[in-house]
Structures are given as C-alpha cells and as structure tokens.
Amino acid sequence: MNSIILTAAARILTPLMIAFSLFILLRGHNEPGGGFIGGLVGATGFALYAKATSVKETIRALRLQPPTIAVLGLGAALLAGMWGQFFGDAFLQGMWPFYGPGPDGGTVGLPVGSVLLFDIGVYLVVIGSVLTILFALEDDVAHPDRLDIED
Amino acid sequence: MLLTAPIIISFLTAIACFLARHDRVAQRWLSLLGSIALLIASFLLAAEVIRHGPIAAAMGGWLPPFGIVLVADLFAVSMVVISAIIAVTTTIYSFGEVTDGEERFGFHTLLHSLLAGGCGAFLTGDIFNLYVWFEVMLIASFGLLILGGRKEQIDGAVKYVVLNLISTIAFLTGIGLIYGATGTLNMAELRDAIPAIENDTVVLTTAVIFLFGFGVKAALFPVFFWLPASYHTPAVVVSSLFTALMTKVGVYALIRFFTLMYDTQMPQMQTMLLIIAAFTMVVGVLGAAAQNSIRRILAFHSVSQIGYILLGLAIFTPLALVGAIFFIIHHIVVKANLFLVGGVMTRLTGSEDLAKIGGLWRRTPWLAVLFLLPALSLAGLPPFFGFWAKLVVIQASFEADAYLYGFIALFVGLLTMYSMSKIWMEGFWKAHPNPSGAAALSLSRNELALLVAPIVLLTVATTALGLFASPFFDIAVQAAAQLTETDAYVRAVLGTLP
C-alpha cells in the first residue's frame, strides 16, 4: 500500500506493538496475559508493517519464514515439557533453576524457568501461524491466478 | 516417561522434518527414524502395560481432578502399537509415491503431527484433552488431504472438514454439558460421576451427543458420507493412513466412552447402537458394490467394517468386546494394506477406474498374490486374522441371542467377497483394454522396492496374526476385561477407588 501516513505511523507503531506484546507475554506469568494473547498482538504489529511496506520486506525483517517461527515455537514448548520430564517428576512440570525457598521462609530468586520457555513457545507458534495465514492470503491477492502456496 | 514418549517422539520428528524440509534425503531419514522410534517406544509401553496393568501419569505433576492425565490400558496401548506399525509402512511407502514438492510442503511434518494427535487421543484420560487431540489430528489431516492441491482434493477436503467440524462442535457441547452436570472432565472420575447424575435426561442427551460426535468421526450410518467423498482424492499413502487412523480414533473414543463412562445397556442406547451398526454394515458394503474404482470401493467398504466394530460394542458381552478389539486391529492392518496395493495397481496400469485397467495377473503375478491375501483376510477366510475377527463378533452376537445381527454380519461378509472379487476380476483377470499403453508404465526397481516392502510387511502381519491368533486372543481378552472391569483403570488414575 502506498500511503505516507501509514508508512510513517507504522515506523513508530510496529516497534511499540511488538514491545507491548513482549510486555503482555511476561505479564502473563502471574496476571492476565501470556503467550497466546501476546503473540496475537505481536502478529498484529508485523501485519501492520506488512501493510505499510510489503510481505517480502516483513519476512526480511523477521529473518525467518513464518512457518519456521511457528515450528521453532512448538519446539520450545516441547523442550519446556521435556525439561520437566527429564529433570523433574512429570512432563510439563514447572522447573525453576533460579528460584527457590529463601533463608527466612520466603522465596528468592528469579522466577524464570520452563514455564516461561513454554509461554515463549506459544508466543512464537501464534505469531508464526497467524503470519503464515496472513501472508498466504496476501499472496493470493497479489497473484490471484496462482493456486499453490510455496513458502 | 514411557507414556509421553509416543507423543514427544512424534512431535519431535515433525519439528525436525520441518526444519530439514529443503534437504530431501535428511528429511526422509528423519521421518523414518521417527517412525521406528515410535514403534520401539510403543512396544516398550505395551510391555509395561502387559506386565503391570493400566498405568497413568499426571501432566505437569498436577494430580487429577485438577490436571490432565495420560492413561494407558491394554486397549489404548494396542491402538498405539498398531498406529506405530502403520507409521512405519506409511513412511516407507511415501518415499516411493510422494513428490519432491509435496515433501517440501511438509508431508512428513503433517504425517507425524497426525500420529502425535492419534497417540494423544488414544492415551489421554481427560475428555477435554481428547477434544484437543482430535483438533490436532483434524488440522494435520486437512493438510495431508489437500497436499498436491488438485481440484477434487479441495472438493473432498471441504466436505471432510465441514462435517468433522460439526462433529467436534457437538463433542465440545457434550463436554460442556457433562462438566456442568458433574464438575469434572477426568474420565476415571466421570465413571462414578455420570451414573450419579439424578436427571436421566442429561445422561441420555450427552450420550447421544457424544454418539453423534464420534459417529461422524468413525463414519457411522447416517453420517458417513464425508468418507467416500474424500478418501479417494489424496495420495494413496494418505488414504491408507486415514483409513487406518482417522475413523479408528472415533471408534476408539466411542468404545472408551461407552465402556468406561456410560452404560451401554441403557435400553434405548443399546437398541440404537445395534440398529446403527446394522445399517452401517449394510449401507457401507452396498455402497462399495456400486463403485467402480479401486479406492472408492475400498473407502466405501471401510464404512461397513466400522459397523462390525460397533456391533461388538453394542452387544457388550466380554466376547463381543474382544471381537471389537480384534476387528479394529484387523481392519487397520488389512485395509491400509489394500489401499497400498491399489496404489501399486494404479501405478502399473495407469488408472484407478476398473473399466480401464486389467491384465495384472499376467504381468505381475506376485502383486496378485499380495492383493489376494489381504482381500481374503478382509472377506473373513481362514487362516487369516480377518476370519478370527469376524468369527468372534458373529459368535458373540449369536451367544447374546442377537441372531438377526449375526446373520446381517454374515451376509455383509458375503458382499465383501463380491467387492473384492470385482477388483480381482477387473484388475487382475481381465486383459488390459489398452495393453500397449499399459506396458509402457513401469516402475523402477528402487521405487518398486519402496512401494512393495510395506505391503509385504502388512500382509505378513495379517497372516501371522491369523496363524498365531491365540496369544493375541489372550491379550484381547485381558484388554476387554479391563474395559468392562474398570476398577484397575480408575485405580491407576486416581490412586484409590472413590
């Protein structure tokens, strides 16, 4: 699309939306938010960028093809599950390497562990799959005569 | 550990295959490795269950009723083992059939995602989680169905997806109602929670909703028509995989629900199941008789075989359940195989349409034998496994005084023979209408080996299962006993009996 207003706005809005999506991702640890909704917001940011520039430019900015992002996300989530399986008691069990009971009865440390990894996986799966669908549709609009979708 | 292994292995393989999708050789090796690993893991799991009885594991360490559990009893584990065998044959056959473009598009990724969904559905002990696995399978199967992007594939896939979506929505509605009525989604807890519901209407309504939801998946009469509309459109190896897994997951869920949670012997329920089973058997086999193309015959015929399995469930004596379990295994092994044979026949003659092919007996007598053995097994002739499966189901119906249904089953067996002999006469006996054109079609030695190896494997399986049926019969008796005596299952999940 050729609109100066959109292009200029996207330059500010896209990083803002992606930063916000990361905030939602992290906030989801204890409050409403999380990987799924964060991923949707992040995907919206990239979708806006794609509208303002082009699909090709967006994929270049992403560095990876959207399906690859989704599959890597699935891998991260699976890894989080196996972490609990192999080093804990059950598949998908929460593992907290930097977090534990403190000397005075409370808990100390950084609550970062397999749960966050799982959430990041969900985040990537959502971004990857939403963008895959979106770009495929864009591709169809750009080349209506073509039926197959190659990545 | 062992319980989650089939699911983890399938997902890992799917991911690895996707990341290696631009390297055809690496992707193929990864896919084959994943299938074999799945097979080994499923055998280990089966050994564990045979030794210790049903085992369960709570995901994330959250015990029921809060968390989701995976449970493996003998029935679930035999389904996982048979899926893993089909995974291996599918992978090998696909090397000879699936094109480079389709592989790059993600054939192997979709295949292993489908397997993950299947193993998850067989192993889960939570009805909402079962819904999730159904969705995983549905998405992966949709991808496999349209792979290649031909027009008739899209056409079949639309029918397939619309009906399957309606069925999952029905299933979800049922889950909501049950959760509202009982406050739990754990199958083991539901065993005692559902009979405790005071309002009979709720029980019967949810039972019928689940019957509809799984009935669509299993292709029961009268909601089977997505199956003959879609199974002949994708690659042969995909047809073979679908016939082995997709409808069986529906039947599996039906058996699980109506043995563990619902009382099949509610009088209305049993009559309904019996009538549906009879219609499914008859309509499926008549539909197959009317078809004229290899895969359409086989697909329609699959519908009738589901009827036998349902008949086993409907009669609900221990012997009948043994029959149902036997029949599921038998049908997976044999029908998946026949689809593969049909694929080789098509490759050698140039068409699936029986009017346009022929002369295979003269050209490739070995293929005729490879067709004949599973076809006879399907028709229920000794010494093949199909004979025992049919015998047990029919004997169980006679013992339960359901003579009418026993005779219907016998009659349907006869018509099965008709469909199989049609393929035999047209494809093998008759001369090819255009012999010079057919002679030009040949497969390289390499391709042939990849296509025929899985067929031989499955043929040996059905013959061996038939010749040495007695240990498998013992296992099936135990599996059926675990289905009717559910205390062991519940104790494995909840630790104690409520």
Contact B59 A90 (CB under 8 A): yes
For position B354, what pLDDT does the model report? Answer: 84
Give which of A69, A83, A89, A92 to mutate to test B binding, by max B Cβ within 10 Å: A92
Question: Where in the sequence is the domain holding B313, given as residue range(s)?
Answer: 268-486
For position B310, what pLDDT does the model report? Answer: 93
The beta-carbon neighbor of B19 closest among A71, A85, A90 is A71
B414 in a structural domain: yes
The beta-carbon neighbor of A90 closest among B12, B60, B106 is B60
Q: Compute the C-alpha angle B339/B117/A91, nearest 5°.
A: 145
B190 in a structural domain: no
Contacts of B11 in chain A (CB under 8 A): 74, 78
For position A151, what pLDDT does the model report? Answer: 41
Spatial separation of the C-alpha atoms in residues B440 and A64, rounded to whole Å: 45
Contacts of B19 in chain A (CB under 8 A): 68, 71
- Tell me the three-class secondary structure of chain B, residue by residue: CCCCHHHHHHHHHHHHHHHCCCCHHHHHHHHHHHHHHHHHHHHHHHHHHHHHCCEEEEHHHCCCCCCCEEEECHHHHHHHHHHHHHHHHHHHHHHHHCCHHHHHHCHHHHHHHHHHHHHHHHHECEHHHHHHHHHHHHHHHHHHHHCCCCHHHHHHHHHHHHHHHHHHHHHHHHHHHHHHHHCCCEHHHHHHHCCCCCCHHHHHHHHHHHHHHHHHHHCCCCCCCHHHHHCCCCCHHHHHHHHHHHHHHHHHHHHHHHHHHCCCCCHHHHHHHHHHHHHHHHHHHHHHHHCCEHHHHHHHHHHHHHHHHHHHHHHCCHHHHHHHHHHHHHHHHHHHHHHHHHHHHHHHHCCCEHHHCCCHHHHCHHHHHHHHHHHHHHHCCCCCHHHHHHHHHHHHHHHCCCHHHHHHHHHHHHHHHHHHHHHHHHHHHCCCCCHHHHHCCCCCHHHHHHHHHHHHHHHHHHHHHHHCHHHHHHHHHHHHHHHHCCHHHHHHHHCCCC
The tokens of B15 are what?
A: 């991911």
Contact B60 A74 (CB under 8 A): no
Contact B15 A68 (CB under 8 A): no
The beta-carbon neighbor of A91 closest among B4, B12, B15 is B4
Counting the structural domains of chain B, the total is 1
Q: Where are the domains of chain A?
A: 4-142
Spatial separation of the C-alpha atoms in residues B293 and B422, rounded to whole Å: 10
Q: Compute the C-alpha angle B133/B480/B69, nearest 5°.
A: 35
Walk along chain A (151 residues) and give the pLDDT tens digit of each residue. 578 898 899 989 999 999 999 999 999 888 888 889 999 999 999 999 998 888 888 899 889 999 999 999 999 999 999 998 888 888 888 888 888 787 877 788 888 888 899 999 999 999 999 999 999 888 777 766 555 544 4
Residues linked to residue B57 through DSSP beta bridges, in sequence order: B70
Contacts of B351 (CB under 8 A, 6+ apart): B357
B302 in a structural domain: yes
Contacts of B148 in chain A (CB under 8 A): none
B41 in a structural domain: no
B366 in a structural domain: yes
**pTM metric for this prediction:** 0.92
Contact A74 B1 (CB under 8 A): no
Distance (Å) of CA A24 to CA A20, A21, A49, A77, B484: 6, 5, 20, 18, 48
Contact B57 A148 (CB under 8 A): no
A84 touches chain B (CB under 8 A): yes
How far apart are the CA of B179 and the nearest CA of chain A, in angstroms? 24
How far apart are the CA of B494 and the nearest CA of chain A, in angstroms? 16
For position A146, what pLDDT does the model report? Answer: 54
B137 in a structural domain: no
pLDDT lower than 70: segments of chain B: 437-440, 497-498
Tell me the pLDDT tens digit for each residue of B197-216.
888 888 888 999 999 999 99
For position B202, what pLDDT does the model report? Answer: 87
Spatial separation of the C-alpha atoms in residues B258 and B269, rounded to whole Å: 10
For position A111, what pLDDT does the model report? Answer: 80
Task: Provide the 10 A C-beta neighbour count for residue B223.
Answer: 19
**Helices B318-349 and B365-379 meet at what angle, rounded to 10?**
160
Contact B149 A148 (CB under 8 A): yes
Give which of A71, A78, A114 to mutate to test B binding, by max B Cβ within 10 Å: A71
The beta-carbon neighbor of A74 closest among B1, B11, B61 is B11
**CA atoms within 13 Å, Cβ hemisphere of B129:** 22
| In contact, B126 and B69? CB cutoff 8 Å | yes
B215 in a structural domain: no
Contact A75 B59 (CB under 8 A): no
What was the ipTM of the complex prediction?
0.86
For position B249, what pLDDT does the model report? Answer: 93
Contact A92 B11 (CB under 8 A): no
Tell me the pLDDT tens digit for each residue of B124-158.
999 999 999 999 999 999 999 888 778 888 888 88
Handedness of CA B400, B403, B409, B414 (dihedral sign): positive
Handedness of CA B359, B365, B370, B376 (dihedral sign): positive
How far apart are the CA of B55 and the nearest CA of chain A, in angstroms? 14
Place of tokens 């490739």: B364
For position B436, what pLDDT does the model report? Answer: 73
- Tell me the three-class secondary structure of chain A, residue by residue: CCCHHHHHHHHHHHHHHHHHHHHHHHHCCCCCCCHHHHHHHHHHHHHHHHHHCCHHHHHHHHCCCHHHHHHHHHHHHHHHHHHHHHHCCCCCCCCCCCEEECCCCCEEECCCCHHHHHHHHHHHHHHHHHHHHHHHHHHHHHCCCCCCCCC
A86 exposed, middle or buried (CB, 10 Å; 0-12, 13-18, 19+)?
A: exposed
Place of tokens 């599973």: B374
A128 touches chain B (CB under 8 A): no
CA gyration radius, chain A: 19
For position A109, what pLDDT does the model report? Answer: 81
Spatial separation of the C-alpha atoms in residues B380 and B412, rounded to whole Å: 11
B242 in a structural domain: no
Contact A68 B109 (CB under 8 A): no
Residues linked to residue B124 through DSSP beta bridges, in sequence order: B70
Look over chain B and give the mean of its residue pLDDT values, rounded to a whole number: 89
